[in-house]
Structure 1
C-alpha cells in the first residue's frame, strides 16, 4: 500500500493570488495523466494536458511547453496546495 496521497479526480482552484493567474481553473488527475481547463476569463495556462508523477515529496508535471517542472505540494483532506518554483502558492479543492 502506498503512502503517497491520491490526486485522482477533479479539482477546482479556490485560493489563488494574482501570481497564479496562469494556472488552470480546473484540473483532472488520473493514472499518471492530467488535464487542465481554463476558466472563462483565462487566456494561456501553464498546464493544459500531460503527464504527472509524485517524486520525492514533489508533484512533477509536464507543462504546456512540455518541460517537466517540480512543484512543492501538500494535501489536507480535499484541499491541494501547490507552490511553484517562483514561490507562488495557490490551492485547489477536490469536487
Structure 2
C-alpha cells in the first residue's frame, strides 16, 4: 500500500531529474562555436586576448597569442554556454569568466562585462 503511494512521486522525481539533466547537457555547448577562430578586430581594451581560438566539442578550448609566447588571458581551458548568449571560459588564472557572445555565420563577437569586444572570423 505504501509503495503504491510512493510510485507517482518517484515517477515525478525521475521526470524532473531527467529534465534537469537534459537542460544541463544542453547548456554545455553551442555547436556553432566549435571550430577555429582568427581575431578579425578588437577594442583597445582587449590587448591580452587570444589572436586565435580553437574551440573543441568536448568543452575544451585553446588560445594562441600573437606574437607567439605573449601573454593571453584566453590561453586554454574549458568552455560552456550556461545560457543563450553567454559563454563561460576558464582563463589564465583558472577563474571561470562569463562573457556575452553573438554568433552570426562565420563571425563571433565576444564581449566582456565592461563592454570590451573581440571579433573573430571562422577559419575554414
TM norm. shorter chain > 0.5: yes
Matched, 1:21 2:47: yes
How far does residue 42 in structure 1 lie from its aligned partner after superposition?
Answer: 7.3
Point out which structure has higher relative CO (alpha carbons under 8 A, 6+ apart): 1
Give the TM-score taking structure 2 as reference length.
0.70
Moved more, 58-67 or 83-92: 83-92
The total of aligned residue pairs comes to 93
Alignment partner of 2:73 out of 26, 42, 46? 46
Aligned partner of 1:80 in structure 2 is: 108
More helix, by proportion: 2
More strand, by proportion: 1
Secondary structure of the 2:33 match is: coil
Over 3 Å counting, the alpha-carbon distance change for 1:85 and 1:77 in structure 2 is same
In structure 2, the gaps of 5 or more residues are: 1-25
Counterparts of 1:37 and 1:5 in 2: how far apart (Å)? 21
Give the TM-score taking structure 1 as reference length.
0.90
Secondary structure of the 2:100 match is: strand
Greater gyration radius: 2
